[in-house]
Amino acid sequence: MPDHHAASLPPPSALDAVIIGAGFSGLYQLHALRDRLGLVVQVLEAGDGVGGTWYWNRYPGARCDSESHSYCYTFSDELMAEWEWSERYPEQPEIMRYLNHVADRFDLRRSIRLGTRVVSARYDVEANLWRLRTEAGEEIAARYLITAVGCLSTANVPRIEGLGEFGGRWVHTGEWPHEGVEFTGKRVGLVGTGSTGIQAAPVIAQTAGHLTVFQRTANYSVPAQNAPLTPEFRQYLRDNLDEIKRTMRETTNGHPFRISERSALATTPEERLALYEAAWAKGGLQFRATFKDLLSNLEANETAASFIKAKIHQIVRDPATAALLADIDHPYAAKRPPIDSDYFETFNRDNVKLVDVRRAPIQRITRTGIETSEADYPLDIIVFATGFDAMTGPLLRIDIRGRDGLSLRDAWSEGPRSHLGLGVPGFPNLFTITGPGSPSVLCNMPVAIEQHVDWITDCIARLRADGLSRIEAKPEAAEDWVAQVNAAAEATLLPQAASSWYLGANVPGKPRVFMPYAGGMAHYRRICEEVAARGYEGFALS
């Protein structure tokens, strides 16, 4: 138990910390601050259950794209040993069972308030407190404000003329009704072909009377090759737990596999094809680890892109449909690289049609369906798989105001500015877990989350031990970090996907700024450790 200096204790009516969100980030941050440091902490969660992103995203086919044995907490060996996943890539219900198990195992629920949406947070400079207001009008004060709101938790519903006039039902994948949606015999329109649409289409097609997929941007996808975990693999996990954890901590993307040291361009065409075929047969995100230069060299990337496009033409029987699906305008993995279960095969079904809305844009939604510039499509249900206002959206949905009433929305009007994706100038004692400027969405998320939570927890412990009560990112440090984030992105092919949500391109009016840190999770971890070791360089402490 740390030595609680009087100078760092908040008044009796205030909490030590408030955490917004009860997903992977919020649950672990609560455990770390409450159970390790002994602080008085409360989690405020808008949903009626824990789970965060997975509480809301329960659309058909919702499944993680990190392998199950790595999509979990690693802070407790006992937890890792006692929980057994059923599949290589877990579905949403299984992830929810896991997170509920964690909440119960560590007795977290007593510090979580469900159904409590935070609408504003204002920093009181004289009291050195954050004052929060909930949707119900309640006020809560805390010394530290920690946002665990997720990177992909603010649904992006497109502004299409006539949506309110649609006589059927429309839903967004990111706010899926908990009672589900009945597709049997219905005419369904699916708008969006990112990773969510790619997961949802095959499942919807199984029961829908007819499915029309509206594609604006064609996408690469690699088969997940999902399957139940075998007894042999479970034994491998038990025998190699430490090595798996070490690999996740040492690799660029936080996954339990290492990127090959081979160059695609230094490999013969015959060997390269054999390696791609083997990676396709194995499936999953490991496909992009086949060669080291796929995200740094356009010519190398083209070898992977061409391979996947050829696979699309092999799988999809109708040449015109295959051509549309393979008409991809960006390098492979420059946008989030989906993995799928029979996505391309779905277009071989008689009840599925692909519509190219790049060539014939959606004009409006009518009472009976969707109208493009070329045709009308009668529909009973519209499913928007149009993604999220990623990374900044969940933060800006809350009216956060720092010193002198500065709003976070104004501070980030030209794009997010932070130091390490952890702290924002003008917003003392605010920590943003996996905020813009950190590896976050370019990484296996639990690895990024645990690193951030551990850093924040150590920071608060150090402040309290030293009798300090305030920490704030310095403007010059934030500017330098933004430059480093831009430089890291420019060293890759990632910025070449002009329509990527990494750049905010899916949200009208959003600044076009590359938001995540592309320099790799392992390198980022070392930078954060060095900042802390140098007395939290780039932060003002008082």
Q: Enumerate residues 6+ apart whose C-beta is below 8 A from 6.
A: none
pLDDT given for residue 9 in this prediction: 47
Least confident of 90-99, 202-211, 217-226, 511-520: 511-520
Q: Report the distance separating Cα 503 and Cα 509, nearest Å.
A: 12
The C-alpha atoms of residue 190 and residue 197 are separated, in whole angstroms, by 7
pLDDT tens-digit readout, 363-381: 999 999 999 999 999 999 9
Q: What are phi and psi of 20, to 5 degrees?
A: -100, 110
Please state, rounded to an integer, the average pLDDT across all residues of the chain. 92
pLDDT of residue 494: 82
CA distance 412 to 415: 5
CA-wise closest residue to 99 among 176, 24, 19, 174: 24
CB neighbour class for 349 (10 Å; exposed up to 12, middle 13-18, buried from 19): middle
How many CA within 13 A on the CB side of residue 334?
26
Say which amino acid occupies 258. Answer: R
Element spanning 362, H or E? strand 362-365
Backbone φ and ψ of 111, nearest 5°:
-110, 15
- pLDDT value for 335: 85
Give the model's pLDDT for residue 8. Answer: 41
Residue 389 has pLDDT above 80, yes or no: no
Q: Which residues are 187's β-sheet partners?
A: 210
Separation CA 135–CA 137 (nearest Å)? 5
Strand-pairing partners, residue 142, are 15, 130
Considering the domain 6-154+390-541, what is its CATH architecture?
3-Layer(bba) Sandwich (3.50)
Tokens of 428: 């003392």
Distance CA 477, CA 468 (A): 20
- DSSP letter at 375 equals -
Distance CA 340, CA 395 (A): 30
Is the pLDDT at 120 greater than 90, yes or no? yes
Separation between Cα atoms, residue 66 and residue 339, nearest integer Å:
10
The least confident of 29-33, 96-100, 160-164, 221-225 is: 160-164
H or E segment to which residue 231 belongs: helix 231-239
Percent of the chain clearing pLDDT 90 (strictly above) = 84
Alpha carbons 16 and 264: distance in angstroms, whole number: 52
Q: Are 387 and 504 in contact (CB under 8 A)?
A: no
* Joined tokens for residue 88: 């290589």
Name the range with the highest mean pLDDT among 6-20, 58-72, 501-515: 58-72
Most distant CA pair in the chain, distance: 73
Q: What is the DSSP letter of 259?
A: P
Backbone angles phi, psi at 50, to 5 degrees: -75, 170
Which residues 6+ apart lie within 8 Å of 257 measured at CB? 247, 251, 286, 289
- H-assigned helices in 67-209: 77-82, 92-105, 195-207
pLDDT digits (tens, 9 = 90+) for 32-70: 999 999 999 999 999 999 999 999 989 999 999 999 999
The pair phi, psi for residue 62, each rounded to 5°, is -60, 120
Q: Is 216 helix (H, G, I), strand (E, B) or coil?
A: coil
The stretch 455-459 carries a mean pLDDT of: 98
Res 512 pLDDT > 80: no
pLDDT of residue 6: 32
Q: Which residues are CB-neighbours of 233 under 8 A, at least 6 positions away?
A: none
pLDDT of residue 499: 56
Per-residue pLDDT at 480: 94
Provide the sign of the torsion angle of the four alpha carbons 77, 81, 83, 87, taken in this order. positive
155-159, 213-217, 238-242: which range is least confident on average?
155-159
- Mean pLDDT over residues 381-385, rounded? 96
Say what the pLDDT of residue 336 is.
84
Q: What angle do CA 534, 537, 542 make, to 5 degrees?
A: 105
Q: How far apart (Å, rounded) are the C-alpha atoms in residues 131 and 123?
A: 6
Say how far apart CA 34 and CA 49 lie, in whole Å: 20
